[in-house]
Amino acid sequence: MPTDPTRKRILDAAEPAFAEHGFAGTSLRALTRQARVNLAAIHYHFGSKEALLRAVLDRIVAPVNRERLAGLDRLEAEAGDRALTVEEILAAFLRPALDLIRDLGERGRILARFLGRSATEPTELVQAIVHEQFGEVGIRYLAALERALPTVPPGELFWRFKCVIGVLTFLLADPTHLTSPLGAERSQDSDVELRRLVAFLAPGVGAPATFCPQS
């Protein structure tokens, strides 16, 4: 079933199509033409256009979120009872997404754009999928942040974490943002982007609790 050629062809074609034109802007006819598959195959294999979108999203974000949880597990196991640093937490959260994009080359760029789009998609459907997929990851990472920053109110941390997602989402939406301005060789040092992002975000995430530090 997972290697069904037709099913896979549809998913592979739907990914860039949704990424480029959005959900409403992608027609099943153009999609099946691109995938060289019969129009009815979509409904046979997925049931509906919405179910196809759900399948596409699941295939992408499920492994990323699995890695995010595994990375946090690993981190906490290594740390023992030492408190995690903000940098460690952020890196564990951001790395799976950046790695995925790097490993996949051109498809990674398309996929990144698709992911970035999905977070701001208007359709209630997409919102629901993203939220449901993201649930556990958000809870776990928020808890880790609360342990790392016990003096910052949880509500404030929640807000800051959303800002982190905002940056990641926006960068994903236009992958040219991710290319290093220093002209680093592509994917040679996969950690350059990650370290830069962490360096940009960590100070704000870990800032002292007083969020009105004199304008």
Partner DNA sequence: GTATGATTCAAACGATCGTTTGAGTAGTTG
Partner DNA sequence: CAACTACTCAAACGATCGTTTGAATCATAC
Q: Which positions lie near a second copy, rule CB under 8 A?
A: 19-25, 87, 91, 113, 116-117, 119-123, 153, 155-156, 158-160, 162-163, 165-167, 169-171, 173, 177, 181-182, 191-192, 194-196, 198-205, 207, 211-213, 215
Footprint on residues 23-82 left by DNA (CB under 7 A):
26-30, 37-45, 48-50
AA identity, residue 80: G
Task: Give the nearest distance from C-beta 60 to DNA in angstroms.
Answer: 20
Task: Give the nearest distance from C-beta 86 to a second copy in angstroms.
Answer: 12
AA identity, residue 209: A
Exposed/middle/buried for residue 55 (C-beta within 10 Å: 0-12, 13-18, 19+)? middle
Task: Give the nearest distance from C-beta 62 to DNA in angstroms.
Answer: 22
Task: Give the nearest distance from C-beta 104 to DNA in angstroms.
Answer: 25
Output 69 or 119, the one with its CB closest to a second copy.
119
CA 141 to chain CA mean position, Å: 14
Output 52 or 194, the one with its CB closest to a second copy.
194
Which stretch, 20-28, 119-127, 147-155, 171-179, contacts DNA (CB under 7 A)? 20-28
CA 151 → CA 58, 62, 86, 145, distances in Å?
36, 33, 13, 11
